[in-house]
Amino acid sequence: MSNNKISPLNNSAKIFIPTPETSKYLINEQAIEIREISATPQPAKTSKKSPLESGHIHIREQKGTFQRIRTSTNSLLVCLFFLLPFISYQGHQAILFDLNEQQFFFFGTTLWPQDFTVLAWVFIAAAFLLFFITVFWGRVWCGYLCPQTAWTFMYVWIETRIEGNQNKRVALDKAPWTSQKLLKRMAKHAAWGITALLTGCAFIAYFVPARELYIDIVSFQASFWVAVWVWFFAICTYLNAGWMREQMCLHCCPYSRFQSVMFDANTKTVTYDANRGESRGPRKRKQPTELGDCVDCHLCVDVCPTGIDIRNGLQYECINCGACVDACNQTMDKFGYQKNLISYVSENALKGQHEPVYRSLKFIGYGVSVLVMLVVIGLDMANKSDIQLNVLRDRQSLYRETSDNLIENSYTLKIRNKTQQTRHYRLSVDNSRFQLENNPELVINPGEQLDHPITLIAHSDALAANRTKIKLFITEISNPENSVFQQTNFFGPG
Ligand code: SF4
Ligand code: SF4
């Protein structure tokens, strides 16, 4: 086989049949589809064990196109996470889940517990959007945007700066305990600890106003429960990103378990082109050889954050991060071979088939679901009112009759101003036969709920029945469009 040409792809794509060696790639005894793309399956000739088999994974740092993209997206995510709580909008923290006041502020919109259906729709829409993207790009979320991956890479970056590259870290692991080893380990754990504490503070800053939180923490005046939660999230971060790392993806994350359900033949996943790569084997540069293009340099395994060998086929451990693509392209460059022995490619593309994506049932299904959810969110937001009104009838008496033939009914109005500004309102009744005894104008502070007792009066001659349905309105004086009502009953002798 020529080493600098891609072998023509044939129609040898098959469904993988598990063997005892490959049974570890089964999920809960349920086979995921694994593409076998070699006409003649080749045994692995490398003598090296995969890091997953040998225990602790020391990831080798890799540069390349996909690693640049990943560093950019992860950096953006981490920066947004730390900085968003400091952004103010209309004089208020732009994003804040205020648990004390039971309000959620999002760039000028205030959601109350009764508005949380909107949040539920948003989460459902986000899930469908994730499925929609997964149909085309596989697990890009895991590789490029997942917080677990982002924080793990931040921790690995710190480890590499302090303990050195992959070889030095492996050597340090094996070395006896000396003062230098102790110093490096202490420095690493101190840096991890500080990062974890900052992460804990940043997370709590979404629930407690950020500026006060940081001042309270720095001046040791934070409340007991705030301190408990900061430490709790700091310890979780330290354990997850420092120690658990890929174990979270392999054993705890439910998404890795069901992501294969969303794949179809057009899904781009990181794939090793076995037809071109096998038979693998080491050789010198420019040395003529009958071997395939894989020089068995093991780089694709050394850079893998989950410690797998992608040459064994698609595995649920793969988070589609592209590190092995960059590593292999670097090797191909060195040997003067064509790039993309490992690449993001779909099953159909490997077979040379190009089916339009819009014919995919999953594309249509998830796309329609996202659109439907966006419409639902739009309608829910459009119907959301800035005023909340609940009318409670006086339970002590149905009605009172005065000596001048007037009938009185009493109510308590629970009115909430759901905005972040002081508002002036007017109360009214839809029927002119009923009069309000109290002053119909009210002023309510931002976010305040007012319990406002009122009495309605009607002449007994004006009541045709012992029960009349009425509507009580509350209207913003400066913006009469902003008005809500609730229907209730007015009782009389009939
Ligand atoms: S196999 Fe490649 S893409 Fe998959 S997790 Fe490992 S390095 Fe990332
Ligand atoms: S990086 Fe490429 S050439 Fe090296 S072992 Fe992996 S697949 Fe083979």
Ligand 1 centroid–CA 58 distance in Å is: 14
Q: Which atom of ligand 1 is nearest to the CA of 322?
A: 3
Residue nearest atom 5 in ligand 1 by C-alpha distance: 318
- ∠ CA 37-40-41, nearest 5°, is 70
Residue nearest atom 1 in ligand 2 by C-alpha distance: 328
Ligand 1 centroid–CA 429 distance in Å is: 67
Same domain? For 194 and 95 the reply is: yes
What is the C-alpha to C-alpha distance for residues 96 and 320, in angstroms, rounded to an integer?
A: 33
Asked whether residue 125 is assigned to any structural domain, the reply reads no
Yes or no: say if 50 and 301 are a contact pair by the CB < 8 Å rule. Answer: yes
| Ligand 1 contacts CB of residue 324 (under 6 A) | yes
Asked whether residue 364 is assigned to any structural domain, the reply reads no
Q: Which atom of ligand 1 is nearest to the CA of 310?
A: 1
pLDDT at 53: 60
CATH number of the domain at 414, please: 2.60.40.10
Same domain? For 168 and 206 the reply is: yes
pLDDT at 407: 92
Same domain? For 37 and 70 the reply is: no
Asked whether residue 224 is assigned to any structural domain, the reply reads yes
Same domain? For 344 and 402 the reply is: no
Same domain? For 346 and 394 the reply is: no
Residue nearest atom 7 in ligand 1 by C-alpha distance: 304
Ligand 2 centroid–CA 12 distance in Å is: 22
| Ligand 2 contacts CB of residue 60 (under 6 A) | no
Picking from 242, 231, 207, 279, the residue whose alpha carbon sits closest to that of residue 45 is 279
Picking from 294, 289, 260, the residue whose alpha carbon sits closest to that of residue 274 is 294
Residue 212, judged by CB atoms within 10 A of its CB (0-12, 13-18, 19+), counts as: middle
Ligand nearest to the CA of 291: 2
Asked whether residue 374 is assigned to any structural domain, the reply reads no
| Ligand 2 contacts CB of residue 311 (under 6 A) | yes
Ligand 2 centroid–CA 346 distance in Å is: 19
Q: Which atom of ligand 1 is nearest to the CA of 342?
A: 2
Can you state the percent helix, strand and coil of the chain, rounding each to 5? Answer: 45, 20, 35
Q: Which two tokens stand for residue 343?
A: 């690449």
Asked whether residue 150 is assigned to any structural domain, the reply reads yes
Residue nearest atom 2 in ligand 1 by C-alpha distance: 324
Ligand nearest to the CA of 323: 1
pLDDT at 49: 59
| Ligand 1 contacts CB of residue 429 (under 6 A) | no
294, 304, 330, 334: which to mutate for ligand 2, most atoms within 8 A of CB?
Answer: 294
| Ligand 2 contacts CB of residue 291 (under 6 A) | no
Picking from 135, 141, 139, 137, the residue whose alpha carbon sits closest to that of residue 363 is 135
Same domain? For 344 and 467 the reply is: no
What is the span of the domain harbouring residue 345? 14-56+259-353
pLDDT at 48: 58
Same domain? For 267 and 189 the reply is: no
Residue bearing tokens 């705890």: 252
Same domain? For 159 and 265 the reply is: no
Same domain? For 69 and 189 the reply is: yes
- Write down the pTM of the prediction: 0.76
Same domain? For 102 and 207 the reply is: yes
Domain boundary among 219, 244, 269: 244
What is the count of structural domains for the chain? 3
pLDDT at 327: 96
Domain boundary among 186, 216, 244: 244
Asked whether residue 361 is assigned to any structural domain, the reply reads no
pLDDT tens for each residue of the chain, 494 residues long? 334 433 333 333 333 444 444 444 443 434 334 444 444 444 444 445 555 565 678 899 999 999 999 999 999 999 999 999 999 988 889 999 988 878 888 888 888 887 888 889 999 999 999 999 998 888 888 999 999 999 999 999 999 999 999 999 999 999 999 999 999 999 999 999 999 999 999 999 999 999 999 999 999 999 999 999 999 999 999 999 999 888 888 888 888 777 778 888 888 899 999 999 988 999 888 888 889 999 999 999 999 999 999 999 888 889 999 999 999 999 999 999 999 999 999 888 888 887 777 778 888 899 999 999 999 999 988 888 889 899 999 888 889 988 888 999 999 999 999 888 899 999 999 988 899 988 889 999 988 889 999 999 999 888 888 889 999 999 999 999 899 999 999 998 86
| Ligand 2 contacts CB of residue 270 (under 6 A) | no
Same domain? For 281 and 400 the reply is: no
Same domain? For 90 and 175 the reply is: yes
Picking from 162, 213, 147, the residue whose alpha carbon sits closest to that of residue 192 is 162
| Ligand 2 contacts CB of residue 294 (under 6 A) | yes
Asked whether residue 163 is assigned to any structural domain, the reply reads yes
Asked whether residue 250 is assigned to any structural domain, the reply reads no
Ligand nearest to the CA of 321: 1
| Ligand 2 contacts CB of residue 296 (under 6 A) | yes
What is the C-alpha to C-alpha distance for residues 198 and 44, in angstroms, rounded to an integer?
A: 45
pLDDT at 95: 94
